[in-house]
Structure 1
Amino acid sequence: MPAFTIPALAIPALLFAGTMRAADAPVVVTSIKPIHSLVSAIMQGVGEPELIVDGAASPHTYNLKPSNARAMQDAKVIFWVGPGLEAFLEKPLQALGRNASIAALDDAPGLVKLPFREGGAFEPHDDAPEHESASGQHDEADAAHDADPGHASDHDHDHDHDTFDTHLWLDPMNAKAMAAMITTTLVAADPANALTYQGNAKALDDKLDALDTEIKDMVAPVKDKPFIVFHDAYQYFEHRYGIRVTGSITVSPETIPGAERVSEIHRKVGELGATCVFAEPQFEPRLVNVVIEGTRAKSGVLDPEAATLKAGPDLYFNLMRGIANSMKDCLSSA
């Protein structure tokens, strides 16, 4: 049988068609790895979103790069959590994202929002929540504000009142709510690829449900064992799975605690019977060793912002399984 060959005249046409397909994909920019992962999953088969906070960088301490600024200028859609987490993006978005649809995912309908904790083993916040109830729900004015369908593209959105914990993605049900907003935003910006986005979103939704069940089973044997974390980033994971975070070393990872605070937590480890104290890969893990010195507590590492993970559609699942596995391993052996 003769070998199949492509006519020479057809090659330029095929190359042109491939170029056109790539050009048709909208430029989409995302702020942090967990959000990039959700957007990547929904955009599979259309294009790949760009990521601002890459590698082991943290949104708490990030400085915008020139390449990030160029990407934001070219973007058709920009996804971020909101200024409560990525404060460094607030002004650049106003200056560079004028031509983009900007979606603050902390406005996604259906999110569970938890107020900051303080008191006891949790260091006080300067901006303690006043407008939210104990359940973390917004008041009526905020609820009406969130219901505004044009809100996702509002460049001038005032988040000064937002005093909830912004690590929203650490509950898979919140990830589902954010994925729904991501899908709606992409479909509006790029209706030609609506069916692909919607099909991918349905597959992602099913995977998130399966992940939720998997994590519940994984942490169930250790969920009643108390532990302390480097900073209070795990409320949503704790709330979803009934685990016992009993304190944090610092309230804000960009602020290294003083000797008095470290001594206080050292005492709390003994008083609370904490079985593990968890560091984070990019923030002063040596402090954890000081805190557990002379106690029976063990140390572990949690990575709530995926600093050590490779970006991509699987990252979110690796992130959540990694947290569950780290907790299970340390708490089981304690």
Structure 2
Amino acid sequence: MPSPRLRIAAALTAATLMLAGCATRSDGFSDGRLDVVTAFYPLQYLASRIGGAEVSVTDLTKPGAEPHDVELNPRQVGRVADAGLVIYLKGFQPAVDQAVAQEAADRALDISTVVQLLPAEEHSHEPGEDEHAEANGNADPHVWLDPLRYEQIAQAVADRLAQIDPQHADAYQSRAAATKEELKDLNTTYAAALKTCQRREIVTSHAAFHYLADRYGLTEVGITGISPEAEPSPQRLAHVAEEARATGTSTIFFETLVSPKVAETIAREVGAKTAVLDPLEGVTEAGADYFTVMRTNLNALTTALGCSS
């Protein structure tokens, strides 16, 4: 049996090794797979689809949570610190920005650097709702709702994965190519379906659909601006109601992760109905993904706008 002195020495050696392990940053791989951390659903979807079995993806925004104001716990910050790649959108989630700046500045992909962002709509300037846009030069973050811009992000994700993990570069690029082809097809479907419609204005609970409207020649009228939880002023409500009446709007759209009360108020005032238009900031329905939600959105739009097939 080892002497007490030997047992103490062994324990001290083990403790030293454990401390050394904690102090040493991970190489970004676990069990042979690249650890990827994503900030919210559309980025998680691309990382998982393009990364395949070669990556392990952790999303910082839980399903059903509103991503604009996400807060990170110490475990999540640790995930950021240990990741081989963090994919985020600077200016959209301040807590994620801070964690990346402190823990992963050299291992992050900011998608705002690979795709041109549109400016936030001017009517978003209600008290308390400018902070998200201002953090990124007053830009609108909802870029994934344009399939062709989302395609650019897909390629950037594949390129960065291939750079970090060249052993699986061909697999990443192959999956990205398939994803991009499906996004091209989605864009073609949207363009054809929305080409001829009785109306071209969409009234939404918050201004998340600027990119979609810009791509397909629609006009978005947001009840609130970039932040979905902001309270619209009485003046803004009156203005939206006036526009809805003037354009013959038959449907006021609300989204899945926030209360529909404001949209319902406008709908009652102008004699319209309500329907869901999902900004795809998170997916809660089992079996749903980016493409199924985008197709459901298209059905809602063609119905509301009176589009001919």
Report the TM-score range of the alignment, normalised by the length of the smaller protein. Answer: 0.7 to 0.9
Q: 1:169 — aligned with what? A: 144
| Structure number, greater radius of gyration | 2
Query: Which consecutive residues of structure 2, in runs of 5 or more, have no partner in the other structure?
Result: 1-28
Kept in 1, the 8 Å contact 2:198–2:306? The answer is: no
CA apart distance, 1:280: 1.3
CA apart distance, 1:331: 3.0
Output the CA distance in 2 between the equivalents of 1:330 and 1:249: 17
Output the CA distance in 2 between the equivalents of 1:60 and 1:22: 29
Q: 1:37 — aligned with what? A: 45
Output the CA distance in 1 between the equivalents of 2:185 and 2:243: 36
Note the alpha carbon deviations across 1:108-135, whole angstroms, 9 max, x for none: 1xx34322222xxx343789x9xxxxxx
SS in 2 for 1:26: strand
Pairing 1:329–2:303 present: yes
Output the CA distance in 2 between the equivalents of 1:288 and 1:161: 27
Pairing 1:318–2:292 present: yes
CA apart distance, 1:66: 3.5
Higher relative contact order (CA 8 A, sep 6+): 1
Letter in 2 for 1:124: H
Kept in 2, the 8 Å contact 1:299–1:330? The answer is: no
Output the CA distance in 1 between the equivalents of 2:82 and 2:136: 30
Matches within 5 A, 1:45-194: 45-83=53-91, 85-97=92-104, 101-108=107-114, 111-118=115-122, 122-124=123-125, 162-194=137-169
CA pair 164-309 structure 1, distance change in 2 beyond 3 A? same
CA apart distance, 1:233: 1.0
Output the CA distance in 2 between the equivalents of 1:66 and 1:112: 33
CA pair 48-216 structure 1, distance change in 2 beyond 3 A? farther
Output the CA distance in 2 between the equivalents of 1:117 and 1:47: 37
Note the alpha carbon deviations across 1:157-180, whole angstroms, 9 max, x for none: xx9562221111111111111111
TM-score when normalising by structure 2:
0.80
Kept in 1, the 8 Å contact 2:36–2:85? The answer is: yes
Output the CA distance in 1 between the equivalents of 2:192 and 2:66: 30
Output the CA distance in 1 between the equivalents of 2:200 and 2:265: 21
CA pair 91-123 structure 1, distance change in 2 beyond 3 A? closer
SS in 2 for 1:45: helix
Kept in 1, the 8 Å contact 2:86–2:108? The answer is: yes
User: How large is the RMSD of aligned CA atoms in angstroms?
Assistant: 2.7
Matches within 5 A, 1:185-204: 185-204=160-179
CA apart distance, 1:302: 1.3
Identity, % of aligned pairs? Answer: 24
Note the alpha carbon deviations across 1:296-320, whole angstroms, 9 max, x for none: 32211111134344599x7221232
Output the CA distance in 2 between the equivalents of 1:263 and 1:293: 13
SS in 2 for 1:300: strand
Note the alpha carbon deviations across 1:253-297, whole angstroms, 9 max, x for none: 131224443233233322343232111122220111111214232
Pairing 1:296–2:271 present: yes
Q: 2:16 — aligned with what? A: none
Output the CA distance in 1 between the equivalents of 2:242 and 2:183: 39
Output the CA distance in 1 between the equivalents of 2:60 and 2:30: 21
SS in 2 for 1:233: coil
CA pair 264-53 structure 1, distance change in 2 beyond 3 A? same
Note the alpha carbon deviations across 1:25-69, whole angstroms, 9 max, x for none: 110001110111111111113133111112111221212133322
Q: 2:15 — aligned with what? A: none
Output the CA distance in 2 between the equivalents of 1:182 and 1:164: 21
CA apart distance, 1:79: 0.1
Kept in 2, the 8 Å contact 1:53–1:59? The answer is: yes
TM superposition outliers: structure 1 runs of 4+ over 4 Å: none
Kept in 2, the 8 Å contact 1:309–1:319? The answer is: no
Output the CA distance in 1 between the equivalents of 2:250 and 2:285: 30
CA apart distance, 1:221: 4.1
TM-score when normalising by structure 1:
0.74
Q: Answer 1 or 2: which has greater helix percent.
A: 2
Output the CA distance in 2 between the equivalents of 1:22 and 1:325: 42
Output the CA distance in 1 between the equivalents of 2:233 and 2:243: 16
Kept in 1, the 8 Å contact 2:40–2:282? The answer is: no
